[in-house]
Structure 1
Amino acid sequence: MIRLRSFLPFVLALAPLAVGCKKDEPPAPAPEAKPSTAALPSGKGKLPLRTPIAPVPKFDPQAMKDYRLEVCYFGTLTLRQARDAYFTSLGKDEPSEKKIPSFGIPGAPMPPAPPTLAKPGGSAAPSAGPAPSAGPGPSHTPSAHAGRKMAEMGMRAPHERNARACTVAAGLKEPPMPDVDAALATFAPFSLELSRNIAAASVYYQREEYTKDKFERGKELHKKLVADFAKLDETADKLGSAIAAWRKDHAVDMAKLDEGERLVLTAYERARGLVLSVLAKKIDAAAYKEGVAALAKDVEAIKTFGTNNPNDPWAKITVPPLSAFQKAAEEAQAKISDKGIEPDAFLSLVNGFTSVIEAKHRALSRSLTAKGQVVEPKAGPPMRQIPTPGQQVEHPDDHAGHAH
């Protein structure tokens, strides 16, 4: 018994090996998956070679050029606000540690003011900012500048985007508008260069790059900005005057328009006049108030028309931006004085009206499509079949030039 017990551990250890010696059966092959053709459009196992291209609205060349000109002229009015804010922040001085320039973005929190230090032997005066900490000052902490950076980055984009509309408009040769084209040839490159310099300066100060080069780059940009800001009103006014003269000689015949388009164009012209009115050196506050009241009636008429005609694109697309502009115009009334209009109200009007311009163009596009006034895009060349591995595909042009 003792001998048998001594061999028992060896027997137990060899038992799994005996089981493992069993011949493994190969797994049953899975049924071959067959490609499904249920989702294919043709049902014949062939994928479509090219996605169909939707028809493009057939815009009148004058309508397209007018649209680009409106975005160009009114959109770049933000450059005036940027100029005024820049000079207000600097005065007659150059950028320095004591004067960091600002382009006046509404709603952007400014860095906290440094605290007033207590005089020796006396009590500290009330501080205008938080007490200093052992770490970096509050003006250098990420949280102090986070709101301003986000706001300025968001508001900087329209400058260059709207200036690009000037470049596009300058490239539209049809129809010829001699005086407008001449003014645009000067204003388009000028506004684009200025907007880019503003963008470069914004990034430069947001990233505090002046701490690395002792304001060398900032002073270079300052010279360019001052020179261009001095020319801004003159070049922009020439373009505005040329557009006004053209519009006067080529007035739209409202009787030929559909009711929806006519109502929208009436409100559009009213809103346009309100923006132009605040550009005057002395704003007529009474006339502005009357214009705002008239615009409210125009917008209400469009809403009523849209309720009765829910499928009309003019009311559906333009009511939201027109309502937003109306609200901005109403709020601006309290910010108009003998000195002009406050910067934040001016910027709200300009950006709001630019949105109205864009919406009006989208409504025109949708209206033309609904009426079937479209251009069918030309089909591109057929795509070559992509061979599967091991498959050779012969194309008709592979043997071009060879004798058969």
Structure 2
Amino acid sequence: MNRFAKCIFVTAAILSLQAPLEVLGALPASAQTEAPATQTSEPSQAAMSKINAYVEFLNRSLRASESLQRYDSWVDMKKGPTGKERIIYGLYSLYDVRKEADAVTAAAAAEPKMPELDSAMLAYLETYQKLAPVIDRADKYYEREDYKSDKMEAGKAFHKDIAALAPDYWERRKAADAALRKEKVKLDLETLAALEKEQGRKARWQVRNVMFRAEAIMDLMPSNEKPVVDMPAYKQALDDYASAVREFDDYALAHPDSFHVFEDQPGSLLSKLRNFGEKLQKTKGDARKGRAGEDLEWLVNDYNMMVSTSQTATTFSKE
């Protein structure tokens, strides 16, 4: 697997699963806090709880995607392992997701109903629970290097199950991710409007607005499954983000010391996104061509840093 393929896989892994929501939602899983003082409607709180449960399971179960990607890096998926491969990497062990899986089942039955998302998450959970035991057993098999004593016999048997289950896993995970994004955007807009109504476009609103627009453009980044970027959509998302950053910067200039650590990050990311867009334009959005793919990992790192620092960005704000 080439360097670009690795890079865009990492991108998809990070961006497809935003961390649990506070009110608007751009927080790393390790930065969950108690509910903020701002009160939103009960339906919104219930919706946030549901989406958080889904996000936590998707984040935790992402290890299966990484394991399949590792397996695919050394196995011919059409033929299966032979034992004669130059390097046999095996797979990755999976995390214990029993608690998160139970939370998904409970969330799907809870209000408010989100038919498309609820159905997609249950379907993904079902497939994951079929695939996970196969990956775990295969991982132990390769870890013990049993293929050296059985001439890859068990490895070939594991491959049949992996090859049969992996397509459904990828399809259902993609569907769950898309449905989650759709519901999350609706909730983000609702909570952003509620925050503006209560506090106005002050520091907290500025951070949340910038992060909402940043997430929208990062969602358009190339992946292994979709390496060609929708350039009209990218341009529109970039324009929206640029507008949010200008308003953010104007507020920061008018209200010094409103933002902790975070202040320069939105503008820095904007500059890099513009340069990335210019490179993509030359290849008609195809990140496999030219040098656009080389910038991808840095963009993801910068965005993830913003996700992290946005949590404490207004800690010392006077407004």
TM range (shorter): 0.5 to 0.7
> What are the Cα deviations for residues 247-295 of structure 1, in whole angstroms up to 9, with x where unaligned?
5665415343143332233233333333432357442246436645764
- Tell me if 1:171 matches 2:157: no
Out of 207, 229, 252, the residue aligned to residue 283 of structure 1 is 229
Query: Which moves more between the two structures, 332-341 or 229-238?
Result: 332-341
- Percent of counterpart pairs with the same letter? 17
Q: In the TM superposition, what is the alpha-carbon distance from 1:230 to its structure 2 partner?
A: 0.9
Q: In the TM superposition, what is the alpha-carbon distance from 1:69 to its structure 2 partner?
A: 3.1
Corresponding residue for 1:67? 52
Q: Aligned ranges for residues 24-173 of structure 1 at < 5 Å?
A: 57-58=34-35, 60-73=45-58, 83=68, 86-87=71-72, 89-91=74-76, 92-99=78-85, 100=87, 160=95, 165=100, 167-172=102-107
Corresponding residue for 1:186? 123
3-state secondary structure, aligned to 1:272: helix
> What are the Cα deviations for residues 137-180 of structure 1, in whole angstroms up to 9, with x where unaligned?
xxxxxxxxxxxxxxx9xxx58x7478975653443354332412
Corresponding residue for 1:211? 148
Out of 228, 252, 255, the residue aligned to residue 190 of structure 2 is 252
Preserved contact between residue 120 and residue 179 of structure 2 (Cα < 8 Å): yes
Q: Partner amino acid for 2:192?
A: M
Q: Report the CA distance shift for 1:174/1:213 in structure 2 as closer, same or farther (over 3 A).
A: same
Mark the structure with the bigger radius of gyration: 1
Matches of 2:63 and 2:302, distance apart in 1: 11
Q: Report the CA distance shift for 1:273/1:296 in structure 2 as closer, same or farther (over 3 A).
A: same
Q: Partner amino acid for 1:270?
A: R
Q: Partner amino acid for 1:171?
A: A
Matches of 1:102 and 1:357, distance apart in 2: 32
Preserved contact between residue 207 and residue 248 of structure 2 (Cα < 8 Å): yes
Preserved contact between residue 160 and residue 195 of structure 1 (Cα < 8 Å): no
Corresponding residue for 1:232? 169
Matches of 2:144 and 2:184, distance apart in 1: 45
Preserved contact between residue 104 and residue 122 of structure 2 (Cα < 8 Å): no
> What are the Cα deviations for residues 16-35 of structure 1, in whole angstroms up to 9, with x where unaligned?
xxxxxxxxxxxxxxxxxxxx
Preserved contact between residue 230 and residue 285 of structure 2 (Cα < 8 Å): no
Out of 217, 236, 240, the residue aligned to residue 274 of structure 1 is 217
- Structure number with the bigger relative contact order (C-alpha 8 A, sep ≥ 6) is 2
Q: Report the CA distance shift for 1:89/1:252 in structure 2 as closer, same or farther (over 3 A).
A: same
3-state secondary structure, aligned to 1:176: coil
3-state secondary structure, aligned to 2:219: helix
How many residues end up aligned between the 2 structures? Answer: 256
Q: In the TM superposition, what is the alpha-carbon distance from 1:359 to its structure 2 partner?
A: 6.3
Preserved contact between residue 231 and residue 285 of structure 2 (Cα < 8 Å): no
Matches of 1:287 and 1:171, distance apart in 2: 36
Preserved contact between residue 127 and residue 168 of structure 2 (Cα < 8 Å): no
3-state secondary structure, aligned to 1:61: helix
Q: Report the CA distance shift for 1:318/1:284 in structure 2 as closer, same or farther (over 3 A).
A: same
Corresponding residue for 1:265? 208
